[in-house]
Structure 1
């Protein structure tokens, strides 16, 4: 396949990856700021960083990744579904971060990377199938 065809076929996954990198940057920046500068507990830092990433993620994924600009969709309901999904992800991340860093003694930042990578796959599937139903999803279904 040509590069253009590959891009067209996997456009939403590529965009999701870019948005994920931006979200991860926002998350890690907030996490590091709270942990290093303010000395807050790592699990509280995880909640703060993750929350900032979620807000960024909703906006960028809705408008860019999944091109979901329908006016018929109630954005409040959609955001609520998004938040519920991310609360589940946050719970998984807290358990994963705690187990990897406290039980397996893996560096907290390495633990965070492992947990984040796992959750990227989980979140993409849930966003694509249950939350955003824009043009990107219709193109993939065809």
Structure 2
């Protein structure tokens, strides 16, 4: 398997771990604590962001860049991803009458594409390749 494909696979594995974390926290805060489903969704998504940043920085992209700047980008793009995720869940539940958790699965799959692209090409871009092109 090529380097680029392996990066996508590692990103997907990291995303799978984030998916589990996201669902566990969402379920816990919605079903056990009784929070509104959208607030619970935000908590689950946020917990997944924290774990995904660490796994992506040190494993998926094995990036040595400055953690502060990278986390800033990662957090910004994650907030955009959260807005996309929540908007998609809302639309699928309200307008398509889909189950909340099915809607969440669909939204996570679509937001995965956004997340990979911005993190691969912006947050964790390979600085060595960028410098060689200048």
Normalising by structure 2, we get a TM-score of 0.91
**How far has the Cα of 1:76 moved from its partner?**
1.0
Map 1:106-125 onto structure 2 (within 5 A): 106-125=98-117
Aligned length: 129
**How far has the Cα of 1:74 moved from its partner?**
2.4
Matched, 1:21 2:13: no
- Relative distance call for 1:39 and 1:61 in structure 2 (3 A) is same
**Aligned residue for 2:88?**
96
DSSP 3-state at the match of 1:10: helix
RMSD value, Cα = 1.5
- Runs of at least 4 residues of structure 1 off by over 6 A? none
Normalising by structure 1, we get a TM-score of 0.86
Q: Distance in 1 between matches of 2:91 and 2:106?
A: 12
Bigger relative contact order (CA 8 A; separation at least 6): 1
Q: Distance in 2 between matches of 1:33 and 1:27?
A: 10
Q: Distance in 2 between matches of 1:56 and 1:50?
A: 10
